[in-house]
Amino acid sequence: MVDLYLSLPPLVQGLLKGLAVIMVIFPIGGACSMAERKVSAWIQGRPGPNRAVVPWVAWIPVLGPFLQRLGVFHVMADGGKMLFKEDALPGHVRKFYFVLAPLVAMMPALTTVTTVPVGAYLDAAGRTVPLVLANVDIGILAVFAVSSLGVYALILAGWASNSKYPFLGGIRASAQLIAYELSLTLSVVPVFLWINAPGTPGTLSLSRAVEFQSGAWQGFSAASWGGVWFLFLMPLSALVFLIALFAETNRHPFDMAEGESDLVGGFHTEYGAFKWGLFFVAEYAHMLIGSAVFTLLFLGGWNPLPWVPLATLVDWLTALTPLAAHPIAVGLLSIGIFLGKVLALIFFFMWVRWTVPRFRYDQVMELGWKKLLPLSIVNLLFYLGAIAALTP
Amino acid sequence: MAVVPVARPPLTLAERTYLPQIAAGLRTTWRHLVRPKQTLEYPEQRPAVPPGYRGVPTLVRDPHGREKCVSCQLCEFVCPPKAIRITPGEIAPDAPTAHVEKAPKEFEIDMLRCIYCGMCQEVCPEEAIWLQNQFSMTGTSREEMVNRKDRLYELGGTLPDEHLKWDRKAAAEQAGNDRH
């Protein structure tokens, strides 16, 4: 299987990888949209969408009604509807850019996924090998560089729509993304300063960040630093990163770019049908990637607990059954742990959305420029000093 | 009115970071998340209908199964939207309830006209027409929305009767009391 894959020409391999990304991101986007609806319903004391069902699934005794209650078929109905409804192109828009914008929204979202490691397996030598489509050494830089391109979609959509609400939405989105991009980037610098100790080969790889957090407990000594997740080591970095992430992904309470109550639908007011659907999926894809990066940098990636790295867990499980040491089992286990953390974080995104009211635009700007940016600079200086003091 | 100066202490640092407030909000929404849901899932779950509810008007029978309506047409006359149409008829002389003399041959309530005011029930001297618990009437045509006599009795069923007026009249007549 693997040999067959590796014998294919690189272009076909790339196509297969691309297809894999699409096949994963789109269903997860759909599932997230349903989760959003369910979480919002539960928080508001409603059961949420729970009616649609396919007859032959309803006949399955326990699973069928369970899936129906979960609203799984509403996702499919919604997706199907999006594909088949009329895709109206308003007469007053700039057509080329109008059509281009949703594609530009999707592309960075799908591209960044390739550089995010999703799990790891242990090779014959017992080393953890990350599972990632493109294990580039610039890791975090690639993610930041490409995902920032997503704002072009918003600006393009806002401008090409040629009407005032989308235009305002596009303007807000660009201002907001510039404001928060700075603190987002500055808040992860301490993490990579810490990882790239003097004398080691420098890297910005995300899998290296996880590897760094995979240390075991070695008594009260400096060696135990490796086991602590960066969330506990650098809580302020994590906080700034998380807040900036909310702003970058245009989520509540920072969803200035959409702002239903003041901008109708913001940048995608003029969009409908599948073009709108692409924006929607792109938003969730950005959320997914943001959560993944947060998990990798601050929540220990695929390590189950602080000071309990994946290798230790595999050792424990191997004591129960030798099957657990198989690379596929380890890979699935690591993906499960990682995905669990990412989905928990996405739930947190939704939980916050239904808790905190939307900020006013000037408050968003003030928070970004006057609070978070100085805070992240001070944070960076503090860790500069701390790392310099700790380095022998 | 006396002016009460309200003390407005400056916000503490924790309050200005806004984070404890968000945490408190998250706790509140979490409580709502795990709490049992408020929604009544309608077709399967029905609301409890309170006593005295004015639902769909129906015709009822007395505990002996006699139809109570004597087609006096008072409800037809009082009905504000003219939803009721009665065709009076006679009871056959050999029937056990022949002394009641009259019963409706046709009784129609057009539910597209009915406004559920309950005046028919109020005016009925025989307590034959009742607005009962049914609150939802649906149909796919105008004809279907007209409740005819058989449907009205089907909806109404039998209600307890504390007077049994016509039985007492019959008993009095048999006992020779002509001024019943």
Q: What is the pLDDT of residues A283-311, one digit of tens each?
A: 888 888 888 889 888 888 788 777 777 77
Instruction: Mention every residue, 6+ apart, whose C-beta is less than 8 A from residue A286.
Output: A109, A147, A150, A248, A249, A250
What's the confidence (pLDDT) of residue B56?
92
Which member of A43, A46, A47 has the closest CB to residue B29?
A43
> Considering only CA atoms, which of A335, A291, A309, A338 is closest in space to residue A229?
A309
Per residue in A15-56, pLDDT (tens digit) is 887 787 788 777 888 888 888 888 999 999 888 888 888 888
Instruction: Mention every residue, 6+ apart, whose C-beta is less than 8 A from residue B109.
Output: B57, B83, B84, B146, B147, B152
A90 versus A1: the higher-pLDDT residue is A90
What's the confidence (pLDDT) of residue A199?
67
Which member of A44, A45, A355 has the closest CB to residue B25?
A355
* Rounded distance between C-alpha atoms, residue A225 and residue A213, angstroms: 8
Indicate the fold that domain B57-160 takes in CATH.
Alpha-Beta Plaits (3.30.70)
Helix (H) / strand (E) element for B133: namely none
Residue A55, min C-alpha distance to chain B (Å): 18
Tokens of A314: 């595999």
| SS3 assignment, position B131 | strand
Please say whether the beta carbons of A47 and B40 come within 8 A: no
| A369: DSSP letter | I
Q: Select, from the ranges A12-16, A151-155, A219-223, B113-117, the one with the highest average predicted confidence (pLDDT).
A: B113-117
Which residue do the tokens 């609301």 mark? B47
Residue A178, min C-alpha distance to chain B (Å): 22
Please say whether the beta carbons of A354 and A40 come within 8 A: yes
What's the confidence (pLDDT) of residue A275?
85
- In this predicted structure, which of A86-100, A306-320, A348-362, B27-41 has the lowest mean pLDDT? A306-320
The band of A125, judged by pLDDT with boundaries at 50, 70 and 90, is: low
Helix (H) / strand (E) element for B26: namely helix B19-34
What's the confidence (pLDDT) of residue A54?
84
The band of A159, judged by pLDDT with boundaries at 50, 70 and 90, is: confident
Q: How far apart are the first and last CA of chain B?
A: 72
Q: Flag if B32 and A44 touch (Cβ within 8 Å).
A: yes
Interface confidence, given as ipTM, is 0.79
The band of A164, judged by pLDDT with boundaries at 50, 70 and 90, is: confident
**What does the pLDDT average to over A353-379?**
88
Per-residue confidence in pLDDT tens, chain B, 180 aa: 789 999 999 988 888 888 888 899 999 999 988 888 888 888 888 888 998 899 999 999 988 888 889 999 999 999 999 999 999 999 888 888 888 888 999 999 999 999 999 999 999 998 899 998 888 888 899 999 999 999 999 998 888 888 888 888 888 888 888 766
A contacts of B26 (beta carbons < 8 Å): 351-352, 355
Q: Flag if B38 and A46 touch (Cβ within 8 Å).
A: yes
Q: Flag if A356 and B22 touch (Cβ within 8 Å).
A: yes
Distance from chain centroid for Cα A18? 18
Best mutation target, A356, A360, A372, to test chain B (most B CBs within 10 A): A356
What's the confidence (pLDDT) of residue B81?
93
Best mutation target, B26, B28, B35, to test chain A (most A CBs within 10 A): B26
| SS3 assignment, position B146 | strand
Q: Tell me the percentage of chain B whose pLDDT exceeds 70.
A: 99
Q: Flag if B26 and A45 touch (Cβ within 8 Å).
A: no
Please say whether the beta carbons of B51 and B123 come within 8 A: no
What's the confidence (pLDDT) of residue A2?
62
Q: Does residue A381 surpass a pLDDT of 70?
A: yes
What's the confidence (pLDDT) of residue A1?
56
Best mutation target, B13, B18, B41, to test chain A (most A CBs within 10 A): B18
Helix (H) / strand (E) element for B109: namely strand B102-110
Question: How big, in percent rounded to 5, are the helix, strand and coil portions of chain B?
Answer: 30, 15, 55
A contacts of B32 (beta carbons < 8 Å): 42-45
**What does the pLDDT average to over A197-202?**
71
The DSSP bridge pattern shows strands A128-131 and B57-59 to be unpaired
Residues of A with CB under 8 A from a CB of B: 39, 42-47, 351-352, 354-356
- Would you call B41 exposed, middle or buried from its count of C-beta atoms within 10 A (0-12, 13-18, 19+)? exposed
Which residue do the tokens 């790339």 mark? A14
B25 to chain A: closest CA residue: A355
Q: Does residue A325 surpass a pLDDT of 80?
A: no
B22 to chain A: closest CA residue: A356
User: What pTM did the predictor assign?
Assistant: 0.81
Instruction: Mention every residue, 6+ apart, whose C-beta is less than 8 A from residue A85.
Output: A272, A273
A contacts of B29 (beta carbons < 8 Å): 43, 351, 354-355
State the amino acid at position B97 in one-letter form. Answer: T
Residue A239, min C-alpha distance to chain B (Å): 10
Residue A193, min C-alpha distance to chain B (Å): 27
B33 in contact with A at a CB cutoff of 8 Å? yes
Query: Domain residue spans in chain A?
Result: 90-390
**What does the pLDDT average to over A86-114?**
85
Tokens of A20: 């894999």
Residue B59, min C-alpha distance to chain A (Å): 36
Best mutation target, B29, B31, B40, B44, to test chain A (most A CBs within 10 A): B29
A38 to chain B: closest CA residue: B33
B30 to chain A: closest CA residue: A43
A/B interface, count of CB pairs below 8 Å: 33
Full 3-state SS string of A137-197:
CCHHHHHHHHHHCHHHHHHHHHHHCCCHHHHHHHHHHHHHHHHHHHHHHHHHHHHHHHHCC
Per residue in A179-196, pLDDT (tens digit) is 888 888 888 888 888 887
For chain A, where are the alpha helices, taking DSSP H only? Answer: 2-7, 10-43, 55-58, 63-70, 72-84, 95-114, 139-148, 150-160, 164-195, 206-212, 230-233, 235-248, 260-263, 273-298, 310-320, 327-353, 361-366, 373-390
Q: Does residue A224 surpass a pLDDT of 70?
A: no
Residue B15, min C-alpha distance to chain A (Å): 14
Residue A343, min C-alpha distance to chain B (Å): 17
A217 versus B135: the higher-pLDDT residue is B135
A115 versus A223: the higher-pLDDT residue is A115
A351 to chain B: closest CA residue: B26
B38 to chain A: closest CA residue: A45
The alpha carbon dihedral of B54, B55, B56, B59 has a sign of negative
What's the confidence (pLDDT) of residue A17?
77
A57 versus B83: the higher-pLDDT residue is B83
**What does the pLDDT average to over A57-83?**
83
The band of A251, judged by pLDDT with boundaries at 50, 70 and 90, is: confident
Helices A10-43 and A72-84, axial angle in degrees (round to 10): 120
Q: Flag if A39 and B30 touch (Cβ within 8 Å).
A: no
Q: Does residue A119 surpass a pLDDT of 80?
A: no
Please say whether the beta carbons of A240 and A230 come within 8 A: no
On the question of a cis peptide bond just before residue A253, with omega within 30 degrees of 0, the verdict is yes
| A218: DSSP letter | -
B42 to chain A: closest CA residue: A51
| B61: DSSP letter | B
> Considering only CA atoms, which of A96, A290, A82 is closest in space to residue A177?
A290
Please say whether the beta carbons of A245 and A290 come within 8 A: yes
The alpha carbon dihedral of A320, A323, A326, A328 has a sign of negative
B37 in contact with A at a CB cutoff of 8 Å? yes
B38 in contact with A at a CB cutoff of 8 Å? yes
